[in-house]
Copies of this chain bind each other. A is one copy, B any other.
Amino acid sequence: VLTVLCGGVGAARLLAGLVDVVDPGSITAVVNVADDTVLHGLHVSPDLDTVTYTLAGVHNDATGWGVADESWRVMDELEALGGPTWFRLGDRDLATHLYRTGRLAAGAPLSAVTAELAAARGVAVTVVPVSDDPVRTVVVAATGEHLAFQEYFVARRCDVEVAALHFDGADAARPAPGVIEAIDDAARVIVAPSNPLVSIDPILAVPGVREAVARRRDAVAAVSPIVAGAALTGPAARLLPDLGHDPSALGVARHYQGLAGTIVIDAQDAPLRDAVEALGMRCVVTDTVMADRDRAARLAKVVADG
């Protein structure tokens, strides 16, 4: 049994590699919900959808988000009406949000809806939101301005100096059914190469999750999303120094020091091995850039085997 703490694209790629090397039914993906947002009254869960779409093989590889073979009839019409279209929701993608919003309105918890959507798409991995309760990342800009995550990420394209991050609702959130058990019972717990600050930290911020992961430290392997000082996707390389962290695989290792017994870093960062090991962590050096599915599977095998 493998449990993977997941943000969006990096996690989805690692999961796609994992299902090629281990039984998909033995994998649980515990997914960040702090990027979730309500648009036009619809509940949008970007990380859950990226993971589910990728595992279903319907993800849009060109954009890194949304569904392949997508069309934009609704957005085009909304634009003609003068409505807000800064967050582009494709027609096929919208069906997911309609389904989710309708089920949530009927009283179903997000975890149940997520399982239904995964099953409808034939996904054998157990995909579970870290919590059924709302946890929302608030980005506090250096100017003092508070931004909802998608406002920061999509509307402002992360072009903001960040002073702090808050995870609204985290204190009162409870782990979704099965989350703690999936961490407790896993042969390995994998921290996906997702943004440590805005994808993994809000998972850990749900009371009980950080403690559960720390208890399994020897079985926890974190994959650095930072390679040669850069993030492959997203704003991590900018956020890390803004928030006082070293924007390097070593900085990531330090961030996970109390939680992960092992850190997996890219071959380009091999010179950091000694410094990482000096933190008391095993350091696995391998090719972590998942440029294609074969390379994702190779990384997945390294990570799954420990």
Contacts and interface: CB of A to CB of B under 8 A. Distances in A.
Interface of A: 38-43, 71, 73-78, 80-84, 91-92, 94-99, 101-102, 104-105, 116-117, 120-121
Nearest to A84: B102
A230 B87 CA distance: 48
Given A40-B42, A40-B101, 5 more contacts: A73-B73, A78-B98, A81-B99, A81-B121, A83-B98
Contacts of A98: 40-42, 74, 78, 83
Given A74-B98, A91-B91, A92-B74, A82 B116 contact: yes
Nearest to A96: B81
A84 B121 CA distance: 16
What 10 pairs between A and B have smallest CB-CB spacing?
A77-B95, A41-B101, A73-B91, A40-B98, A78-B95, A40-B102, A83-B99, A77-B92, A81-B120, A41-B41
B94 A94 contact: yes
Contacts of A71: 71, 73, 91
A115 to B, nearest CB: 12
A104 B83 CA distance: 13
A96 B80 CA distance: 10
Contacts of A42: 40-42, 98, 101
A159 B73 CA distance: 34
Nearest to A117: B81
30 contacts: A40-B42, A40-B98, A40-B101, A41-B41, A41-B43, A41-B98, A41-B101, A41-B102, A41-B104, A42-B42, A42-B101, A71-B71, A73-B91, A74-B74, A74-B91, A74-B92, A74-B94, A74-B95, A77-B91, A77-B92, A80-B95, A80-B120, A81-B99, A81-B117, A81-B120, A82-B120, A83-B95, A83-B98, A83-B99, A83-B102
Contacts of A96: 77, 81
A71 B76 CA distance: 12
A77 B97 CA distance: 11
A97 B94 CA distance: 12
A102 B75 CA distance: 14
A28 to B, nearest CB: 22
Contacts of A84: 102
